[in-house]
Every structure is written in C-alpha cells, then in structure tokens.
Structure 1
C-alpha cells in the first residue's frame, strides 16, 4: 500500500479483515497530505460533483477577485489548462446528473463504513451534526438548494429545516447572516486524529507502516514490487497506489490516463468567544467550518496549483476576509495550524478505484474533496476486488482505465 492517508489506510484495514498481510509506505507520515487539515465532514448530502453549470458564471469572475474561493496561477501550464478544459466540459446539467448518479451508491454507504471501522476496533469517533448552512441574504441560497434538490432526486436523504436564528446553534455567526438552515443526517470527525487512529489500528493488527519510504516506481506483473528513491526494491503480492494528488506519478505507467489535478484547500483554527459545537457551511463564501480540539477550524479555497508548491499566505488572507463579513467573536488575527493540502481532482468528478492495466497493481484516489467521507467505503470495495477479483457495482463507475 502506497499512501498513508484515509483512503490508503482504510484499504489496508479492509485487506486485513480479509486475511491479507499489509505494508503501508508513505514518504512523510500518516495523514501528511490532504487527510490532515480538511474540514472533516462526513456529509454525503454534500458529496457531489465539483463541476456544475454555475462555474460558467462564477469562474471568470473569480479569476479577477483576489478573495474568491477559486484560484489558479496566471502562467503557462499546459497540464493545468488541459485539465481545466476537461473540467469545464463537465459543467453542464447533464454531466452533473451523470456524475451524481455514479456517486450516489457510495454516498449511501459512506456513514455505515465508518461504523464498520469503529465496530472493528478503530479507536476514533464520528459525531452527528446538525450542520448550520448560512447566508447573508435569502437569494444566495438558490444554488445550494438546487444542489440539495439534485441530491435528493438521485435517492439520498437530506433533511433541511429553516432556522429562525442561526446563532442558536452557531453563536459565531454575526448579524450579517439573515438566512440559515439546519441540515441533519450528516456527521463530522477530527480528521488528523481519526486517520492517526486508523493507522494505529492497522499496525496493532500486524501491519507494517514505513513513513520514510519515497516510492519512485511500481513494477507490475507476476512479481510486483515497489522501488524506493534509495534503490531499495520491495517485492509484494499486490500494490495499491493511494497517493492522492501525486497519483499520476506512479499510475500513468500502468495505463491510468485520467488527469488528476491538485485542488489545494487551505485551513486554520481559531479561538471563539463561545464554544463551537456544530459544523457551519457558508456556501456563498465557499467556507466550511468544524469544531476542532476546542477551537474552530475554518477551511476554504479551491486552488489549482502543483501539489508540492508551498502555502500561499494570500489564500489564507482571502478566507479571513470572507469570514470577517459573517462572523463575530472569532479571533481571526490569532490563527493556529495554518495548512494547505492537495486534494486529487479528476475532470469528471469520479474517483479512480480499481485495477490498472498492469497485473497486481491497483489504484485508489481521485476523490477530490471527498476522500475523507468516501475513504472507508472505497477501502471496503477495493479490498473485495483485490481479494475476490469481483468489482462491486458501487465502484464500477470509478474504473481507473476509463
């Protein structure tokens, strides 16, 4: 297993459930990538296609607004522009419905997959909402309500109730918020601690974890192996590539041609005058917030850059500027845990889960913003495929050779 994030560790755990011995390799450590600093939402009702028709209106405007949630460098980058062309081609109602239909089966089992981990001994918690969905004015809610209607139309439940006063559940929201809803049926976690607990569970059950292993190539066939940057060759029966936004570096040699672009997200945590107890979503500002270890984690931005580029302070500033408009009693000037993580985005919004063109080599990635919520279910069905050779219908739309 290459990659010690949620997806890789969940797959390792499920392979152990089926009696396989596992070794997990990572060049940095458990949850070192996108699994650490995200909002930690287990929200199937918001696990939807990233590309939708509103991008044709929002995208061009966002490029001219330094505080917009969408950001990309103004430079010659053929790979990025090729991805954007394919990504925007999916920004139609028909494509949205096709991708939503593909995501719905795994959305429907996502929360039960977390229960399975907990019952299996993973020492971590998930917590029920409600989620507070807030807007400065009612007209801003139209896009969110349309998306939620689409989710329900495809077979999910998304209980939504208007709130007379958002501050009853989210006291950090200011008087600028005049329209709010309560979304039930979703959960949240503290993502870094959760993934660390999953890693401990894998080790406690006899798995090996190496966090200094920089894999530079994968060999498929009847004698599969991984090769490290030190020249060390590790033979194994099966290889799973679960390296997030870095997946193409190893997977392209095995026939995986779907583009994977780093959609970088930023976050930080702050103190609040009153304790934060529930997640808060500000769709118009593209900000997702979660209680996190006694503070309030504020996350946002979709920044299309290379995955290894350093944190850009201007993106943190953009989130702060948006948050100031709608929050009060939040110490935005004393930020902790400033973070950037590279989420693996595919043009069609579908993950890449399954066999590659090489014997005994599999991939699990391309979940975009949804690697946390879909990770355990992905691990369950990929482990089934590896163990039995049978592709479960839930992951069939995610064929990495499509």
Structure 2
C-alpha cells in the first residue's frame, strides 16, 4: 500500500488527502489543532471563480497609502519595524500594475474554470454537505463606485470566463438587508456559496471514514527529507510515508523554505462575525467599496471583511471588528450588530504575485499546496485533485503549471 502524509487539515490539505485516497493511497492527516482550525472556518464561504482574481491591482496605489496611515482601512499594514513584512509588501505592490494583473489572471483562469465541478465531485463521492447557487448581490452607494468592480469583471471575461452581471431595478427582494444608502445594485450569477466550516468538517469526516489516520493536537517540529520523508511531531513521535504534502496555509514558509520554496507567503488576515437579521437574507451580498463580503450562515448573516498584513499568530484586533461594524451600520438595515457571534480572525496565505504554490519541492517526494490568498476555499478541491495527480503520476496538469512552488 502506498502511503502519504498531509500536514494541514484545511480545505486544501483535506482535498488533497481525499484525492490521494481516490488514487489508492493510505493517508495520515496531521494538524496542530484539527479540522478547519484556520482560514477554512470563518471565511465568507464564497465559491466565486469569477472573483478569484489577483489581489494586487493598480488601484492599490491610491488606496494603499491610506492602509498605512489608517488602522481602520480595509487594507491595513501596521507601521512597525518588520523587515519580512515590508519586503513582502514591496514585492506585492510591485505587482500592482495592469501587466502583472493580466499575467496572474491568465495563470488563475484555467483552475477557475474547473473549480466548481470539483465540489460536485466530492459531494457525489460521499462528502455530506452542499453548495448553493447565487445570485450574489453587489451594492454601491453611488454608481461611480462601481467602475473598478466592472473593470475587474471585464478583465475576468476577457481571460475567458463567463460572469453574468446585470443591474437590479429592485434589489429589495434579493437583499432586504441593504440600507437606502446603497443606491446602485447589481446581481452576479454563475457563482455559488456554502457554509465553510461545516463543509470542511464533512470533508474531514469523509477522509476519516475512508480509513485515514487523523493526528491532531501535536504540531510538526521538523520535516525530514529522504526516500521516505518524515515529520517529527513536538511530542517526539515520527511519522514516515512515501509522499509528504505540506498544506499549512500562512505557516507554509516555516516548513517549506528549506526545500527550495522561496516565494514569500504573508498572512493576509480577514475578520468575520455573524448577526441576526429582521428579514431572512438568502443570498450573499458584497459591498466592494467597503470590502464587506457577507453570506447566509446557519440562520444568521455572516459579515466578513478587511485585509490586514500581520503575523499569522497575532491575536484578534478588536478595532478591526469595530471598523467592520461601523461600515455595516451605515450600509445595512434590520441587522442587529450588537448581537455578534463567532467573532473570528483567520490568516489567509498571500503571495506577492497572487499565484498559489502547488507542486513538487526540491526534496524528493515532498510537495506543497498553499498560497491561494483569499481564494483557498473555491480553489481547494481542484488544487487537491490536480496535486494528487502530480504526486501519483509525476505529470503536471496545465492548470497548476503556473503555480510552480520553485519559481
């Protein structure tokens, strides 16, 4: 029996484990905390390949300086002496131009196009969860705020995706939570959403039910290369397998750098919480100007937002929650922002060029899967399938060729 160890029990790691099992591998999943303990739990749950686009955009040259000065800005970089952080930010901003945006978008488009079908494959294959069609409601306080969003959608379409997008004459039926300040409203179709934590747990249950060993509660202290690579846990236990996958999100450099993965990965931290609403909100809502991404969640309304470049293990910053509350209080109605539950911060793994890191390292039989930025959930199942193919056959599917972790 061929064996594999997957380090990381988020959507990317578990998807890789599931597809390795499909190919006949006996899998062990290792995580210091457990299933969905990181970004796979509290994100907005958007399955939006039409919005899986480069984060570095020319418009950041206007909004970026605000993020350095205003701790409440949607994009925030704390003013502190941190050479790694500023080195990343300089490289990130170097990609904030039209040429780099198009190059990255060209790299993302092939996997964007196949992303949704891989959720169907998992659900049909025994993952006891669901995904739902939109529409997504996109709102602006005034029409001129929509210019940048329309430009992004046009760029996605130019690269080959179909992204239906039209203005709504009466948005109240689709989005009763929007206040009168939101005057220009559109619907975005062809996308889906889910409840990210429950879906990831259902995937973890399916992987375990197929016979995977789930080793939770012990962090990895070292990775040892060799014909059969190994992980050394902090409790002193050593695990060996034929193949090893590192899928540790924003913590990926800690384990992967020694194997030639030099691309920086920075924690782009997002925040979320859920609230009660007077009227049911059945569809996702996005307010691009305020950077608020919202989704129905277990009978409530999850509000997520911000991009904060900090170290991944730093504590939740209450001020960032209050900044979201301030924006939401003006743009939503019938929403009880005092009844906040599940306040959360998660560290999304961002690369300077906006492309994930998926494939083989310089060490024999050691692979990585990460660096998806805000799009780890929507791209996770497709990443897992294509990486499992690479591990099993040695062939690199063209859809992940731009994600070479040794670039």
For normalisation by structure 2, the TM-score amounts to 0.98
Deviation of 1:62 after TM superposition, in Å, equals 2.9
Aligned to 2:365: 360
Equivalent position to 2:23, from 11, 18, 27: 18
Is 1:252 the counterpart of 2:257 in the alignment? yes
Q: Secondary structure in 1 aligned to 2:301?
A: strand
Equivalent position to 2:377, from 368, 372, 376: 372
Deviation of 1:118 after TM superposition, in Å, equals 0.9
Which whole-Å deviations, capped at 9, do the CAs of 1:134-158 have from their partners, x for residues lacking one? Answer: 0000000000000000000000010
Aligned to 1:318: 323
How many residues align? The count is 402
CA distance in 2, matches of 1:161, 1:347: 32
Q: Runs in 1 of length 4+ with deviation above 6 angstroms?
A: none
Equivalent position to 1:33, from 20, 29, 38: 38
Equivalences for residues 47-86 of structure 1 within 5 A:
47-86=52-91
**Aligned-residue CA RMSD in angstroms?**
0.7
Contact 2:67–2:77 (CA<8 Å) still a contact in 1?
no
Deviation of 1:66 after TM superposition, in Å, equals 3.5
Deviation of 1:232 after TM superposition, in Å, equals 1.6
Q: Secondary structure in 2 aligned to 1:394?
A: coil
Which whole-Å deviations, capped at 9, do the CAs of 1:194-240 have from their partners, x for residues lacking one? Answer: 00000000011111111112111111221210011122211111110
CA distance in 2, matches of 1:398, 1:219: 24
Q: Normalized per residue, which structure has more strand?
A: 2
Equivalences for residues 87-166 of structure 1 within 5 A:
87-166=92-171
Is 1:237 the counterpart of 2:242 in the alignment? yes
Contact 2:68–2:78 (CA<8 Å) still a contact in 1?
no
CA distance in 2, matches of 1:32, 1:160: 34
Deviation of 1:360 after TM superposition, in Å, equals 0.6
CA distance in 2, matches of 1:221, 1:398: 24
Equivalent position to 2:226, from 186, 205, 221: 221
CA distance in 2, matches of 1:230, 1:206: 23
CA distance in 2, matches of 1:79, 1:62: 18
Q: Secondary structure in 2 aligned to 1:168?
A: coil
CA distance in 1, matches of 2:96, 2:318: 29
For normalisation by structure 1, the TM-score amounts to 0.99
